[in-house]
Structure 1
Amino acid sequence: MNYRIVVDSCGEFTEDMKKNPHFVHAALHLSIDGEQFVDDETFDRLDFLAKMKESPNCPKSSCPSPEVYRAAFDCGAEHLYAITLSAELSGSYNSAVLGMNLFLENHPDAKVHVFNSCSASVGETLIAKKIAEYEEAGLDFEAIIEKVDDFILHMHTYFVLESLDNLRKNGRLSAVKALVATALNIKPVMGATDQGVIIQLGQARGMQKALRLMAETITAELEHPEEKVLGLVHCNNPERAEYVKQELMKLVKVKDIIVLESSGVSTLYAAQGGIIIAV
């Protein structure tokens, strides 16, 4: 194997990626009221959603340890890459860098690079697929890093949530604002800066209007759409994902649209019905 791509488990894998030995996950751990969950193939989304809804407390996540990353790099591949959640949202990036440094102590000539996705969820998926595309095309290691850094810089992330409760529990939204928004059925359209900081892009009253606003915002901001793959993740609502896909297809012609179910970490933040898009 000439390359390996390690993705923290917030980044969802397509079915093809799951079967491809070039891609591996580094699992985050989740907890609710002391109960522990591993964000891997054993993760039960419906059970987690139910327990999260019942709990008055904030669910927590913890990033993979440096040793998890070090072990993932130790596979004999010539080129090694890691992709993590935005460093503004998680310690996963710093952990991956520490894991890389541990690996380099015994393999000083190894070619290893850690990418801060400045995104999350399907944004990490798109980055992983782009690395593989360049590897399969035969580009050298340094050229791939340069091109992927540029890809990350120009990638945009968007999301709309059914509930603001987890943002409130995580201290990202005041209790008063969350209460008013819920009472008025206001749904914010959220995004991220090129540094991975969460920002509000707009808002609408009602989920359908908010999803349409997100689709319109994506269309207005998207450059060279015919060259872009759009990734769409839903949390336990395939019908809503299909609605958003159809709305986007009415507005813009992209190269492809990938639809995936949310990982454990994405489920924690998006909650029931949340939609996340990266392009």
Structure 2
Amino acid sequence: MTIQIITDSGADLSKAMQDKWQIKVTPLFVHFGDQQYQSEQLSTANFLEMLEKSKRFPSSSAPGPHEYYQAFKAIPGDQSIIHFSISAGVSSAYHHAEMGKNMLLEEEPDREIAIINTKSASTGMILLISETVKKINEGLSFTNIITHIEQRIKHLHTIFVLKTLDNLIRGGRLDKVKGAVAKTLNVKLILHASTVGKIEVLEKVRGHKKATRRFIESIGTCMSNTAHNTLVLTHCHAQERLDEFLTKINQDYHFENILTAETGPVISAHAGQGAIVMSFFSDQPRER
């Protein structure tokens, strides 16, 4: 029996990753007023241009349970399904996918389907998918893969460093007055996905250089040896900034594999242009 991996566009998989790993992607949606777009309909550059011109901050939404049901039903019955969902702490996508799974199981109770609440987004989802592909190629059973991935989530760190606070202010996630003060003081936010999958402030630092240093140092505080591990990085329309981070990371660490991609519209709306996101597995289970 083969295994089909499905995810949503909160994963920010590049086209090359989708093709290499044969991943099917269920699109999330972004809304500018009354206009709705599947996230794949907009490049990150086009989305940021629309965002700059729009008077209203965009919102995002997940497909309904029926859309997930249809996506799962389209997979041949002799294939197991593992669906990786953007964190239930930031989206209804996980719960809708669970409902879609249950709808299909009512019709076809012998289907083998697992819905994974990644408690993450972007790089965290890419890292979990990469790990799953590795375990599939090693010949692990469906049940053992699910157990392994659930354990890996306990070690998963997803950390964001923002270049601008504008999107957090426009989206109502940061008070305008506090945001103005922070910008005046050149405060940079380092955020992370908490153990329950909510985006929280990890650290506040003054200046770009210190933010870069603290962001990269967070790897070493969580991992004793990077040699046999994978690091995933995504950027919000900021390839040069990503290259700067990669240069510094390669000076300090020796990852076996580093994967990179660009954030799509859903993640870019909150992270803002210039944001860098990374994920890795820590030595010990996370405490916060």
TM-score category, normalised to shorter length? over 0.9
Counterpart of 2:242 in 1: which secondary structure? helix
The 8 Å contact of residues 27 and 39 in structure 1, kept in 2 or not, is answered as: yes
The 8 Å contact of residues 118 and 195 in structure 1, kept in 2 or not, is answered as: yes
Q: Does 1:54 align with 2:53?
A: yes
Identity in percent: 31
Alignment gaps of 5+ in structure 2: 281-288
TM-score, normalisation: structure 2: 0.91
- Counterparts of 1:237 and 1:22 in 2: how far apart (Å)? 27
Q: How many residues align?
A: 278
Counterpart of 2:227 in 1: which secondary structure? helix
The 8 Å contact of residues 232 and 277 in structure 1, kept in 2 or not, is answered as: yes
When residues 56 and 205 of structure 1 are mapped into structure 2, their CA distance, relative to the original with a 3 A threshold, is farther
- Counterparts of 1:49 and 1:263 in 2: how far apart (Å)? 10
Counterpart of 1:227 in 2: which secondary structure? coil
The aligned residue for residue 94 of structure 1 is: 95
Q: Which amino acid aligns with 1:222?
A: M
The aligned residue for residue 285 of structure 2 is: none
TM-score, normalisation: structure 1: 0.94
The 8 Å contact of residues 234 and 277 in structure 2, kept in 1 or not, is answered as: yes
Counterpart of 2:83 in 1: which secondary structure? strand
Q: Which amino acid aligns with 1:263?
A: G
Deviations 1:195-237 (A, max 9, x none): 2122222222222321221001222122442222111000111
1:107-146 equivalences under 5 Å are 107-146=108-147
Deviations 1:223-271 (A, max 9, x none): 4422221110001110100111111112222121111111121221222
- Counterparts of 1:29 and 1:130 in 2: how far apart (Å)? 27
The aligned residue for residue 283 of structure 2 is: none
Alignment gaps of 5+ in structure 1: none
The 8 Å contact of residues 3 and 142 in structure 2, kept in 1 or not, is answered as: no
The 8 Å contact of residues 117 and 123 in structure 1, kept in 2 or not, is answered as: yes
When residues 98 and 224 of structure 1 are mapped into structure 2, their CA distance, relative to the original with a 3 A threshold, is farther
Q: Which amino acid aligns with 1:186?
A: V
- Counterparts of 1:166 and 1:61 in 2: how far apart (Å)? 14
RMSD between aligned residues: 1.7
